[in-house]
């Protein structure tokens, strides 16, 4: 079946540091890939997505590239801010199958 | 503003009691979903509905029930058969099951007294 493996947290970084959160997947065919973000006390929000190999999703300074050869969709940001502190979820879907989520990575940015 | 409204924000259940969590959306979406979130386990799908008057079990449906009598509403009942109900419950909707961008409510935190 489909699955998503995320970098375990928590991750703590200083403001303006470079961020990478690793995500790899197992799926039949070519799934769509997503990053969702959950701010404290809230539901999830879509951060970015990519629907085919070599696509790059980007939003709010975050980027992730769909790498078919390594079955990866790592999340990156060049300079994090305190407001980026949240839990980040990698997810995939294939066809009309439901979203499969990773376990989430808690990110804390210290001033 | 369009969106998904979950209520209540906090809910307490006594032993042997059924409780119902509300989820309403005004996005005109066909598909709706209920997830359970536990620390360190990500989101697990409880039930989903692709259309009014139809719903399917997700990965952890035991001890839960749902109804979909209206397009806008998808309430979740946590029954007394669910022995470990303490969790954060999230409702989501999408335009249809092929449009996999899901929009989430703010969640309901359920605790057992």
Q: CB contact, 8 Å: A101 with chain B?
A: yes
Neighbours of B101 (CB within 10 A): 14
Do the Cβ atoms of B43 and A93 come within 8 Å? Answer: no
Q: How many residues does chain A have?
A: 111
Burial class of residue A78, CB neighbours in 10 A (0-12, 13-18, 19+): exposed
pLDDT at residue A96 in the model: 67
What is the per-residue burial (b if ≥16 Cβ within 10 Å, else e) of B3-34?
Answer: ebebeeeebebeeeeebebbbbbeeebbbbbb
- Chain A residue with CA closest to B9: the answer is A41
pLDDT at A5 over 90: yes
φ, ψ of residue A3 to 5 degrees: the values are -155, 160
Do the Cβ atoms of B106 and A104 come within 8 Å? Answer: no
pLDDT at residue B98 in the model: 64
Which residues are registered as beta bridge partners of A76? A20, A63
φ, ψ of residue A84 to 5 degrees: the values are -85, -5
Do the Cβ atoms of B106 and A32 come within 8 Å? Answer: no
User: At A29, is the pLDDT very low, low, confident or very high (cuts 50, 70, 90)?
Assistant: confident
Specify whether the CB–CB gap between A32 and A3 falls below 8 A: no
Specify whether the CB–CB gap between B111 and B12 falls below 8 A: yes
pLDDT at residue B55 in the model: 96
Q: CB contact, 8 Å: A7 with chain B?
A: no
**3-state secondary structure string, B15-35?**
CCCCEEEEEEECCCCCEEEEE
Do the Cβ atoms of A101 and B90 come within 8 Å? Answer: no
Angle, CA A42 vertex, CA A39 and CA A48 arms, to 5°: 55
pLDDT at A90 over 90: yes
pLDDT at residue B90 in the model: 96
pLDDT at residue B97 in the model: 62
- Return the structure tokens found at A51: 């629907």
Instruction: Please give the average pLDDT of every successive group of 10 residues along chain B, which has 113 residues.
Output: 89 91 96 91 91 94 97 96 92 78 93 87
What is the count of residue pairs from A and B with beta carbons less than 8 Å apart? 47
Q: In what order do the strands lie in the sheet with A75-77?
A: A19-21, A75-77, A62-65, A56-59
Of A32, A41, A101, the CB nearest to B42: A101
């Amino acid at each position: 079946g489909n699955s998503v493996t995320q970098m375990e947290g928590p991750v703590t970084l200083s403001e303006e540091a470079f961020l990478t959160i690793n995500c790899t997947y197992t799926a039949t065919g070519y799934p769509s890939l997503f990053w969702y973000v959950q701010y404290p006390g809230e539901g999830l929000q879509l951060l970015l997505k990519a629907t085919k190999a070599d696509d790059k999703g980007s939003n709010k300074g975050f980027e992730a590239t769909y790498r078919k050869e390594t079955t990866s969709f790592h999340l990156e940001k060049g300079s994090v801010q305190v407001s980026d502190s949240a839990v980040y979820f990698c997810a995939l879907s294939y066809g009309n199958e439901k979203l499969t989520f990773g376990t989430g990575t808690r990110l804390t940015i210290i001033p | 503003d369009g969106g998904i409204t979950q209520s209540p924000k906090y809910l307490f259940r006594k032993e042997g009691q059924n409780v119902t969590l509300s989820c309403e959306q005004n996005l005109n979406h066909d598909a709706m979903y209920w997830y359970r979130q536990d620390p360190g386990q990500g989101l697990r799908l409880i039930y989903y509905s692709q259309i009014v008057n139809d719903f399917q079990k997700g990965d952890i449906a035991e001890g839960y029930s749902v109804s979909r009598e209206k397009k806008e509403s998808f309430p979740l009942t946590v029954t007394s058969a669910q022995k470990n109900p303490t969790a954060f419950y999230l409702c989501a909707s999408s335009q249809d099951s092929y449009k996999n961008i899901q929009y989430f409510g703010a969640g309901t935190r359920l605790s057992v007294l």
